[in-house]
Amino acid sequence: MTTSGLLNHRFIVFVFLALAVLPFLSDSRSMYIMFTQIFIFAIFAMSFDLLLGYTGIVSFGHCMFFGIGAYSVSLFLKNFGATISYFLLGVLVAIVLSGILSYVIGMLSLRLKSHFYAMLTLAISQLLFVLAEKWRSLTMGGDGFTFPVPELFRDRLSFYYVCLILMVMLFVILRAFTHSPLGKVLKAIGQNEQRAEALGYQILHYKVIVSIVAGVVAAISGGLYAVMLRFVNTQVFSIETTLDALLMSMIGGLGTLFGSILGSGIVELAHHGLTELAKLHPIFERWVIFLGLLYILVVLCFPSGIVGSFQEWREKRKQRSLQAATITEQVE
Partner 1 sequence: MDVAMNLLVNGLATGILIFLLASGLTLIFGLMSVLNFAHGGLFAWGAFAGVWLFGLTDSFLLAIVGAVVIGMLLGFVLERVLIRPVYGDHIQQLLVTLGGMLVISELLKVFWSPNPIRAVLPDYLQGSIELGDIILITYRLFVIAVGIVVYVGLHLLLTKTRLGLIVRAGVIDKEMVQALGINIKQVFTFVFLLGAGMAALGGSLLAPYSGVIFAEMGMQYAILAFIVVIVGGMGSVQGSMIAALLVGVLGSFMAYFVPELSLAVNMLLMLAVLLIKPSGLFGAKG
Q: Does 250 bind partner 1 (CB under 8 A)?
A: yes
Provide the minimum distance between the beta carbon of 247 and partner 1 in the complex, in angstroms, as a whole number.
8
For residue 42, give Cα distances in angstroms to 222, 242, 261, 288.
11, 13, 5, 18
Stretch binding partner 1 (CB under 8 A), from 105-113, 180-188, 272-280, 319-327 = 105-113
Q: What gap in Å lies between CA 189 and CA 197, rounded to an integer?
A: 8
Task: Establish if 281 lies at the interface with partner 1 (CB under 8 A).
Answer: no
CB of 273 to partner 1, least distance (A): 17
Furthest-apart CA pair in the chain: how many Å?
82
Least distance in angstroms from the C-beta of 117 to partner 1: 9
286 belongs to the binding site for partner 1 (CB under 8 A) = yes
Rounded least distance, CB 290 to partner 1, Å: 9
Using rule CB under 8 A, residue 283 touches partner 1: yes
How many C-alpha atoms does 264 have within 13 Å on its Cβ side? 25
What single string gives the DSSP state of each residue in 60-120?
A: S-THHHHHHHHHHHHHHHHHT-S-HHHHHHHHHHHHHHHHHHHHHHHHHHTTS-HHHHHHH
By CB under 8 A, the count of residues binding partner 1 is: 36
Phi–psi pair at 53, nearest 5 degrees: -75, -40
Helices 29-49/203-229 angle, 10° precision: 170
Site string for partner 1, 292-311 (x = CB under 8 A): xx-xx--xx--x--------
Task: Identify residues 15-54 at the interface with partner 1 (CB under 8 A).
Answer: 52
The Cα–Cα gap between 217 and 162 comes to: 15
Query: Minimum CB separation from partner 1 for residue 205, in Å?
Result: 18
Which positions touch partner 1 (CB under 8 A)?
52, 56, 58, 60, 108-109, 112-116, 118-120, 122-124, 126-127, 130, 134, 239, 243, 246, 250, 283, 286, 288-289, 292-293, 295-296, 299-300, 303
